[in-house]
Amino acid sequence: MLTRFREMWRKRSRREEIYSRPAFWNDKADSHAGSAASMFINPTLNEYYQREQFAFFDTALGNVTGHRILDVGCGTGRVSRHLAERGAIVSAFDFAEKAIEIARQESGAHRIDYSVASVSDVELKDESHNEIVVLGCLTLACNTAEDFVHVLKKLHAALNPGGKLVLIEPFHQGFLHRVLRLSKSEAIALIQKNGFEVFAVQEMHFWPLRLCLTLGETPAWITRTLYPAGEAILRMSPKVLGLGDYKGIAARRLP
Ligand SMILES: C[S@@+](CC[C@H](N)C(=O)[O-])C[C@H]1O[C@@H](n2cnc3c(N)ncnc32)[C@H](O)[C@@H]1O
């Protein structure tokens, strides 16, 4: 446990450098199995997280049958597959080629159009998508608020007018930030300033518990006992405290 904590601390202290490179994500995809290849090392926690993330996407997107949806920073393709199962026509990209290799292997029957690309320089056709989803990529891919605005403009152009952009990202200014240092309210303000109307915001994944439950090989029963308590605290706490690690933000492109 102590070794794991030291390893986590070492990575956190160099996180801007490590997390923004494909090598880290290729290595993670190569060395971890199942959900841990693009999520945390605790599979039981990942199950809870995935259920909540998919619920946020499903509520924000509504019926997606026949819709063209882009999954940005798709990792091993779990969100892409979920949307394809719901009837969407999904294209997806990630800059980690190993993750894309796994996504292709695991998505056999789904006919998802995967490619290797970075969100910083990918070229997207104007008004080519009904919806765009992003889970945990922009706070790694963007170093500054200017980078974030650059990506927002690109995604805005790639959406049909009225199309939805649904993000689930760990927006933080302080200790919990990944690469991008941006609070939830700053992120929302930039999204609104760049041609979107925000229609849903949700605090997700109570962060104090997230830190504890991702330190080591936590037995499933511990996660199952503690997780509901953490979520109850999150639901009862004032939103302004920002106790969610991830922030779900759903926006609609203004014409
Ligand atoms: C936390 S993982 C999430 C993966 C996936 N969205 C999921 O939820 O399972 C973040 C992903 O973002 C990708 N990523 C980071 N920076 C990127 C960039 N500049 N362009 C494309 N993908 C990027 C990583 O390779 C990684 O697969």
Q: How far apart are CA 93 and CA 91, in angstroms?
A: 7
How much is the mean pLDDT over the chain? Answer: 92
Helices (H), 62-171: 78-85, 97-106, 138-141, 145-158
Whether the predicted pLDDT of 8 surpasses 70? no
**Residue 6 has what pLDDT?**
66
Tell me the DSSP string of 158-215. Answer: HEEEEEEEEEEE---SSTT--S----HHHHHHHHHHTTEEEEEEEEEEEHHHHHHHTS
pLDDT in tens, 224-249: 999 999 999 999 888 878 899 999 99
- Cβ of 135 closer than 6 Å to ligand 1, yes or no, is yes
Mean pLDDT of 87-112: 94
How many angstroms is it from 137 CA to the middle of ligand 1? 4
3-state SS assignment for residue 236: helix
3-state SS assignment for residue 124: coil
Q: How far is CA 154 from CA 7, 74, 120, in A?
A: 36, 17, 9
Mean pLDDT of 23-30: 86
How many angstroms is it from 141 CA to the middle of ligand 1? 8
Specify the residue with its C-alpha closest to ligand 1, atom 1. Answer: 136
pLDDT in tens, 147-175: 999 999 999 999 999 999 999 999 999 88
Whether the predicted pLDDT of 14 surpasses 80? no
Q: How far apart are CA 190 and CA 229, in angstroms?
A: 33
Whether the predicted pLDDT of 131 surpasses 80? yes
Testing ligand 1's pocket by substitution, the residue of 11, 15, 25, 124 carrying the most ligand atoms inside 8 A of its CB is 25
Whether the predicted pLDDT of 202 surpasses 90? yes
Domains of the chain listed by start with CATH number: 2-253 (3.40.50.150)
Which tokens is 81 given?
């597959």
Lowest mean pLDDT segment, chosen from 40-49, 83-92, 131-140, 189-198: 40-49
Are 119 and 138 spatial neighbours (Cβ–Cβ below 8 Å)? yes
Are 159 and 68 spatial neighbours (Cβ–Cβ below 8 Å)? no
Testing ligand 1's pocket by substitution, the residue of 25, 82, 137, 180 carrying the most ligand atoms inside 8 A of its CB is 137
